[in-house]
Structure formats: structure tokens, C-alpha cells
């Protein structure tokens, strides 16, 4: 049984979506499915998300990883400085707007970043839409957060209509700038977060030793970003937090860094770390050209 409130939300925003197979528009039928004129059908799942992938994507991003990610984002303060800065930017752009607006989180994972940022921005007229290729991530997001729209989808063949989003968030996640430009309104805002060299350095040092560097070089990212968008600001956020020891295993589990590390390195990080963890990122803010 599809939740009627969620179905109503999909009805309201169906014009912002499109069929990823034939690019036609979608309508909500019988309060349970999105249907295009060529009869491609996408059902609202019982958890309240819509799967718009036409194939199943293999991913190493598992339920365990997403549970850990939710725990760190929602219950530790690690990402608070990032959320605060981004929310302040969104507030500046949208606080005086009385018209409804849509914000996409492209590569939202289990949705906690989007949830936190929407809450902190406090823009009552803004609705969040999270898209990720991982069904495990979107299912968790839809179970936890009922005010947003959640879609399993491929950003390269996205189920989103032209010029339908006022804002795109793209946090620590790959970009598809051509798609982002297409779905953003003219003068729409994009906020992209990329890690800097100090990001989670305590964990990386434990896994790889302290000699590795150049892992995160943002010059190329910035220059590619500027090709597509007018870069209006770059905000550098750096912060060191003491993390409760009970949360460190979750930090390890949420990170793809741990995939290639042996168990001994992981245990040594959790065991000997003083509990300090560094957040170090650049936030790029751009306007659609």
C-alpha cells in the first residue's frame, strides 16, 4: 500500500521528472505508478521511493555502509561545519523567495546530508529530491525521511526534466556536468563539496601510512567546474573534532577507504586513534551559465 501523502507529492512534482527510457513526460496513475505515454511504468515502492533504473547496478555500497554513514552524519558532529556553511549559502539565495523551489542532491546516498542541509537552511518553500544509483541507499533514505522525494536513478540517464531544479547539491560524489546544466534552471545554483588533503587524514594515515599525498588535488576539479558554471565562491571548511570512540567503527565502515585496507589496519586505527577526526573540504558555488 503506497502512502497517499507520498503519492500526492510525486503527483505534484511529476512534471519535474521524465521517463529515462524515452524522455517523455510522466503522470501519476492510480496513486501508485508513474507512467509515460509509451507505457513505461515506474511504481512507488512500499517504502515511498521510485526505482527509475532500467538495469540493476552493482555496487559495493552496502546497507552496512549506509547505516554507518547515517550514524556519523546524524549523530556525530563531524559534518556540522560543512552543513552550516552550505545551509547559509542556500539561505542567502532563497530566503526571500516565496515561489516553490526544488533542490536535487545528486548522488545522495542514504539521504542524511540532504536532510540536514534542508533542515538547517529553513526554506519552507523548498523541496528536496535525492537521486542515487544505489537502491540500498535510496531505500534507507525513503524509510527515514518522508518529506523528500527519493529516486533510484542513473545520473548519466537521469529521470529528471529539463530546467526543473533551482539548486543542485553534489557532495563528495561524482558529477555529470552536462546533465546538471540541463536540469538546472537558468541561473540555477550548484553547490559541490570536494575533499581536501587533510580530509579524514587520521584514518588515511592508519590505512596507508602518512606518506601518501596528492590523493586529493582539486585544481582539475575546479577548472572543470568553471568550464560549466560561473564560480561565484569557494569556501574552505576545515575542522578537527573529537569523535566518541564508539563512533569510530562507523566512520571506518562508511568509508570506501576501508575496502582496500586489511583488518589489522582498521583495528589499529580504531584502537590507537586519539579520537580526533579532521574534516577538510572545499565547497564550490556556481551559477548555471
Q: What is the DSSP string of 24-89?
A: -B-EEETTTEEE-TT--EEEBPTTS-EE--SSPPP-S--HHHHHHHHHHHHHSSTTHHHHHHHHHH
33 binds Zn ion (CB under 5 A): no
Single out the segment in contact with Zn ion by CB under 5 A; choices: 33-41, 117-125, 165-173, 230-238.
Answer: 33-41
| Least spacing, CB of residue 202 vs Zn ion, in Å | 48
134: Cβ–Cβ under 8 A, 6 or more apart, which residues?
57, 59, 61, 66, 109, 152
21 binds Zn ion (CB under 5 A): yes
N-term to C-term CA, the chain: 43
266 binds Zn ion (CB under 5 A): no
26 binds Zn ion (CB under 5 A): no
Q: Which three cell numbers stand for residue 250?
A: 562507523
E runs forming strands in 134-275: 149-152, 165-171, 184-195, 229-242
**Residue from 28, 36, 200, 266 binding Zn ion (CB under 5 A):** 36
75/162 with CB nearer Zn ion? 162
SS3 label, residue 129: strand
40/228 with CB nearer Zn ion? 40
| Least spacing, CB of residue 30 vs Zn ion, in Å | 18
| Least spacing, CB of residue 72 vs Zn ion, in Å | 38
Tell me the C-alpha distance between 222 and 196, whole Å. 12
41/147 with CB nearer Zn ion? 41
Burial 258-287 (b: 16+ CB within 10 A, else e): beebeeebbeebbeebeeebbbbbbbbbbe
| Least spacing, CB of residue 42 vs Zn ion, in Å | 9
214: Cβ–Cβ under 8 A, 6 or more apart, which residues?
197
Single out the segment in contact with Zn ion by CB under 5 A; choices: 38-46, 94-102, 135-143, 279-287.
Answer: 38-46
40/241 with CB nearer Zn ion? 40
**Residue from 4, 12, 22, 124 binding Zn ion (CB under 5 A):** 22
# chain residues binding Zn ion, by CB under 5 A: 7
- The 39-68 contact track toward Zn ion, x by CB under 5 A, reads -x----------------------------
273: Cβ–Cβ under 8 A, 6 or more apart, which residues?
202, 203, 206, 248
Residues 189-208 that bind Zn ion (CB under 5 A): none
Chain position whose Cβ is nearest to Zn ion = 19
Q: Contact positions toward Zn ion, by CB under 5 A?
A: 19, 21-22, 24, 36, 38, 40
Amino acid at each position: 500500500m503506497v502512502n497517499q501523502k507520498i503519492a500526492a507529492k510525486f503527483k505534484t512534482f511529476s512534471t519535474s521528472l521524465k521517463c529515462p527510457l524515452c524522455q517523455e513526460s510522466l503522470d501519476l496513475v492510480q496513486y501508485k505508478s508513474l507512467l509515460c505515454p509509451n507505457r513505461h511504468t515506474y511504481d512507488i515502492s512500499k517504502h515511498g521511493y521510485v526505482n527509475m533504473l532500467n538495469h540493476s547496478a552493482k555496487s559495493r555500497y552496502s546497507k552496512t555502509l549506509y547505516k554507518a554513514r547515517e550514524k556519523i552524519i546524524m549523530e556525530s558532529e563531524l559534518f556540522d561545519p560543512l552543513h552550516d556553511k552550505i545551509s547559509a549559502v542556500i539561505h542567502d539565495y532563497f530566503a526571500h523567495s516565496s515561489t516553490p523551489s526544488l533542490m536535487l542532491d545528486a548522488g545522495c546516498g542514504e539521504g542524511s546530508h540532504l536532510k540536514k542541509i534542508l533542515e538547517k537552511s529553513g526554506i519552507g518553500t523548498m523541496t528536496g529530491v535525492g537521486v542515487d544509483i544505489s537502491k540500498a541507499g535510496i531505500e534507507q533514505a525513503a524509510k527515514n525521511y518522508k518529506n523528500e522525494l527519493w529516486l533510484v536513478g542513473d545520473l548519466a540517464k537521469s529521470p529528471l526534466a529539463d530546467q526543473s531544479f533551482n539548486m543542485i547539491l553534489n557532495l563528495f560524489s561524482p558529477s555529470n556536468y552536462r546533465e546538471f546544466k540541463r536540469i538546472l534552471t537558468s541561473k540555477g545554483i550548484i553547490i559541490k563539496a570536494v575533499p581536501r588533503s587533510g580530509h579524514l587524514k587520521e584514518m588515511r594515515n592508519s590505512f596507508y601510512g602518512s606518506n601518501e599525498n596528492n590523493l586529493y588535488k582539486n585544481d582539475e576539479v575546479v577548472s572543470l567546474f568553471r568550464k560549466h558554471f560561473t564560480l561565484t565562491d569557494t569556501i574552505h571548511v576545515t575542522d578537527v573534532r573529537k569523535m566518541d570512540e564508539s563512533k569510530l567503527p562507523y566512520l571506518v565502515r562508511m568509508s570506501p577507504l576501508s575496502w582496500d585496507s586489511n583488518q589489522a589496519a582498521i583495528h589499529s586505527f580504531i584502537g590507537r586513534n586519539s579520537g580526533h577526526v579532521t574534516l577538510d573540504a572545499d565547497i564550490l558555488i556556481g551559477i548555471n551559465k
